[in-house]
Amino acid sequence: MTDQLLRLYQAEWCPYSRLVRQRLTELGVPFIALQVEAEPEQRAEMREATGTDTIPVAVLPDGTVLTGEAEEIVRALDLRFDEGPEAERHREKARSHS
């Protein structure tokens, strides 16, 4: 089952990771959040799996790796997935907790 889920290499403290997590939630895409080491030079496993040590990185179930700025990852996700029925409610909740 986990092989069928999007994998998101990320850190809770990273605002760019948060942006991608929020969009995945709005899109209704189930994902696994993979925590990474705090320092990029310590992310050898992630680098081997994705080709980069910069977060966030999304790996789609088909193996496609989405890297770059968070906004680029969000745009790529938007091209592949439609928003879920709860998208607006999730945005409202996010705004109310900012």
Residue identified by tokens 């906004």 is 71
DSSP string, 61-75: TTS-EE-SSHHHHHH
Fold for 2-96, please state it. Answer: Glutaredoxin (3.40.30)
Q: Where are the domains of the chain?
A: 2-96
Condensed to tens digits (0 to 9), the pLDDT of residues 7-51 reads 999 999 999 999 999 999 999 999 999 999 999 999 999 999 999
Is it true that the peptide bond before 56 is cis, omega within 30 degrees of 0?
Answer: yes
Q: Decide if pLDDT at 1 tops 60.
A: no
Average pLDDT over residues 60-83: 97
Q: Considering the entire predicted model, what is its pTM?
A: 0.93
